[in-house]
Amino acid sequence: MRYFITLSYDGAAYCGWQRQPDAPSVQQTVEQALSTLLREQVEVVGAGRTDTGVNASRYVAHFDCEAGGKDCAQLVYKLNLILPKDVAVQRVWRVSAEAHARFDAVEREYTYYISQRKNPFRRYSAWQYYVQLDVERMNEAAKALTEWEDFTTFAKLNSNNKTNICHVTKAEWRRCEEDGDLLIFTIRADRFLRNMIRAIVGTLVDVGRGRYSVEEFCDILHSLDLSRSSAGAPAVGLFLSDVEYDERVEYREENTIV
């Protein structure tokens, strides 16, 4: 039987979501906790990989389990007791056997945070960047992302991508209403390339500080030349914030693993 699980994590201590042979990963950490509680070897399949140091406020994964009689609410409670402090589970629920956390995802959302003043409470959750930025210019440039499909300019070299085509549906900057010194960038697409968002953020920040004009940003985007993009923004400010699924995926709102 198959179950979906939603969780959040601080990625600072991990090589990313995906299991690696010589470094701690979020996937391995969650698999060990589930295997311990369910008393069987459990493999967890995530909605996608996040890079080293990248965080998630709402990550989705699935796992298969043969054990019966487990209460999902209790499983969440016990998982959170044994997982490290930088990983938290919000929910576990049963889905159809065909549901797949990665392949059934139709859109993913990432959020990037920039703190424009020194803030000790955001040192692990935002890029502390104190240069004043023109948010209006950055938004004007970001519009071009929704009108373009080939993101080779922002694709990490030697990533073995079958294609660099992505369909961005939203790319927008805003100031936090509660904290005017906090800038928030939200980007949604059907898929993302490795380091793509951090490279986009770094280049848009260069637009905001006046290094590039909006027209120059568009030229960089269309050039399909990675060497023309700016240095990537730090991983600390990047969060996977949502994963959306096709309505055909059958979710069962059951509380018990049976």
- Rounded Cα–Cα distance for residues 166 and 221 (Å): 13
Q: Look at strands 55-64 and 238-245 and give their pairing.
A: parallel
Measured CA to CA in angstroms, residue 153 lies from 140, 196, 199, 233 at distances of 18, 9, 9, 15
CA atoms 86, 22, 34, 44: torsion sign:
positive
Residue 86 a catalytic site member: no
* Three-class DSSP category at 115: strand
Buried/exposed 1-21: b ≥16 CB within 10 Å, e otherwise:
bbbbbbbbbbbeebbbbebee
Per DSSP, helices labelled H in 171-237 are 196-208, 214-223
Q: Is the separation of the CB atoms in 64 and 79 below 8 Å? A: no
In the three-class reduction of DSSP (H, G, I as helix; E, B as strand; rest coil), residue 171 is classed as strand
**Which candidate in 10, 22, 51, 225 is catalytic?**
51
Distance CA 124, CA 126 (A): 6
Residues serving a catalytic function are 51
